[in-house]
């Protein structure tokens, strides 16, 4: 098994990108396997201050990339043990991933800490939880800015879309079934559209057969006037005339109907 304290050769220190992309050697793979329990240990140590929504299995996978980076880049001349260096790289990889997934900007995170520290200070001084008004005055904010701050730093709740929710009538409904789909038209618009189609179909029945066929081919089958003329063995000008007459008849019947 490879000694983690060995001095890397010049090819490993020549270019960081080359080192990061080079496949692991057999000895390096054995070293990763030997120290993999350290990844679980670091994740377990960080668990107390990780967000509740954090996926521990996913963070272990991220920590593994930190361990691999440690195996690739360890330099024994820095007088640091491999275990300490690996722990630093594992923890750094996990923190980088959490920052990448963090929904709150850094400025908002700073304001949230400031708000929490102010509330803790007031609670120790008053012997009770401070009121929102007392917290606002201590921060020196007007009411509007204080309300904006509270909205900005309030925690985000993650809910599974497929988890059943109990309703007042005892029925269960999953969250994805209750969220409106912006791509689906409202029910009343769909019903009005269907009623309009039914009324249009009834109105078209009063048209002469040739006029009705032209309308159907042109609007419902996307046929060009030239194609319709060829199918009916007439000129395109004649089909255009029939099309105009059909529209005029439909318009008049529609006006009379309404």
pTM value is 0.39
Average pLDDT over residues 74-82: 77
Helix (H, G, I), strand (E, B) or coil at 172: strand
Long-range contact pairs involving 100-108 (C-beta distance under 8 Å, separation at least 24): 103/156, 104/153, 108/152, 108/153
What integer pLDDT is reported at residue 158 of this predicted model? 59
Q: Residue 43: exposed, middle, or buried by beta-carbon count in 10 A (0-12, 13-18, 19+)?
A: buried
Q: Which range, of 16-30, 49-63, 199-213, averages the lowest pLDDT? A: 16-30
Q: Which of 96, 24, 100, 30 is nearest to 63 (CA)?
A: 96
| Tokens read off for 201 | 């179909």
What are 174's strand-pairing partners? 164
More confident residue, 160 or 25: 25
Helix (H, G, I), strand (E, B) or coil at 174: strand
What integer pLDDT is reported at residue 203 of this predicted model? 81
Per-residue model confidence as pLDDT tens digits over 182-238: 777 777 888 888 888 888 888 888 888 999 899 989 988 889 999 999 999 999 999
Compute the distance between CA of residue 89 and CA of residue 150 in angstroms, rounded to an integer.
Answer: 35
Q: Count the alpha carbons within 13 Å of 204 in the hemisphere toward its beta carbon.
A: 17
What integer pLDDT is reported at residue 155 of this predicted model? 60
What integer pLDDT is reported at residue 102 of this predicted model? 60
Q: How many whole angstroms from its chain centre is CA 251? A: 48
Residue % of the chain over a pLDDT of 90? 11
Q: Which range, of 23-32, 65-74, 175-184, 194-203, averages the lowest pLDDT? A: 175-184
| Tokens read off for 194 | 């269907």
Compute the distance between CA of residue 173 and CA of residue 159 in angstroms, rounded to an integer.
Answer: 14
What integer pLDDT is reported at residue 3 of this predicted model? 47
What integer pLDDT is reported at residue 169 of this predicted model? 62
Per-residue model confidence as pLDDT tens digits over 4-21: 444 344 344 444 444 445
The terminus-to-terminus CA distance of the chain in angstroms comes to 89
Residue % of the chain over a pLDDT of 70? 74
Q: Which of 44, 82, 91 is nearest to 63 (CA)?
A: 91
Average pLDDT over residues 87-99: 84
């Amino acid at each position: 098994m490879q000694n983690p304290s060995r001095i890397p050769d010049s090819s490993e220190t020549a270019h960081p990108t080359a080192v990061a992309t080079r496949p692991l050697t057999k000895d390096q793979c054995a070293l990763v396997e030997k120290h993999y329990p350290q990844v679980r240990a670091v994740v377990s140590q960080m668990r107390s201050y990780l967000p509740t929504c954090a996926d521990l299995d996913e963070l272990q996978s991220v920590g593994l990339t930190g361990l691999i980076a440690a195996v690739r880049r360890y330099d024994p001349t820095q007088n640091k043990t491999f275990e300490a260096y690996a722990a630093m790289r594992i923890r750094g990889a996990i923190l980088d991933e959490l920052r990448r997934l963090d929904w709150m900007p850094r400025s908002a995170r700073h304001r949230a800490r400031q708000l929490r520290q102010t509330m803790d200070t007031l609670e120790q001084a008053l012997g009770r939880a401070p009121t929102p008004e007392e917290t606002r005055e201590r921060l020196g904010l007007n009411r509007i800015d204080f309300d904006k701050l509270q909205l900005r730093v309030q925690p985000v709740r993650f809910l599974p879309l497929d988890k059943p929710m109990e309703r007042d009538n005892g029925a269960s409904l999953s969250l994805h079934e209750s969220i409106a789909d912006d791509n689906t038209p409202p029910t009343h618009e769909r019903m009005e559209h269907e009623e309009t189609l039914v009324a249009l179909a009834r109105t078209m029945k009063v048209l002469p057969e040739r006029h009705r066929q032209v309308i159907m081919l042109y609007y419902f089958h996307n046929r060009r006037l030239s194609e319709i003329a060829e199918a009916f063995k007439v000129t395109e000008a004649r089909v255009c005339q029939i099309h105009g007459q059909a529209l005029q008849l439909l318009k008049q019947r529609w006006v009379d109907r309404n």
